[in-house]
Amino acid sequence: MGFQIDQTTKSIRDFYDILDYLAESLFSPSAVQNFSDTLETCYARLREHPFLYAACEDAGLAAKGFRLAPVMRYLVFYTVEEETKRVRIHRILHGSRDYSQQID
């Protein structure tokens, strides 16, 4: 059996903020659907292969076990809890942001 995906409150807020931006600022319903589909594909991969994506390049985040998965122009920050077979999604941030202070 694969790993379970757990999302933090911040990652859920990030997700809805991204959808709002795509829908309201870009006026692109297709971008909303594309992002949602691509993110779900990422989560499906994480369920089966939680170590598929690389550890964060930021040494402080890597030391805490953070990994990141690219999803379009965004980065999904997550940790793997092997004992409980869980992948915890912490944040979903635009790739251009300075994320080192955004992850806790």
- Check residue 44 and give its pLDDT: 97
Residue 104 lies in a domain: no
pLDDT-derived band at 98, boundaries 50, 70, 90: confident
CATH code for the domain in which residue 51 is found? 3.30.2310.20
Q: With respect to residue 54, please indicate whether it lies within any of the assigned structural domains.
A: yes
Burial of 80 (0-12, 13-18, 19+ CB in 10 A): middle
Query: What's the rounded Cα separation, in Å, for the pair 33 and 68?
Result: 22
Q: Whose structure tokens read 């933090």?
A: 8
Give pTM, 2 decimals.
0.93
N-terminal to C-terminal alpha carbon distance within the chain: 29
Structural domain for 21, as ranges: 4-95
Cβ atoms 89, 80 nearer than 8 A: no
Would you say residue 100 has pLDDT above 90?
no
Number of structural domains in the chain: 1
Confidence of residue 29 (pLDDT cuts 50, 70, 90): confident
The pLDDT confidence band at residue 78, using thresholds 50, 70 and 90, is very high
Confidence of residue 1 (pLDDT cuts 50, 70, 90): low
- Look at residue 61 and tell me if it is in a domain: yes
In 3D space, the residue among 2, 19, 1, 6 whose CA is nearest the CA of residue 87 turns out to be 6
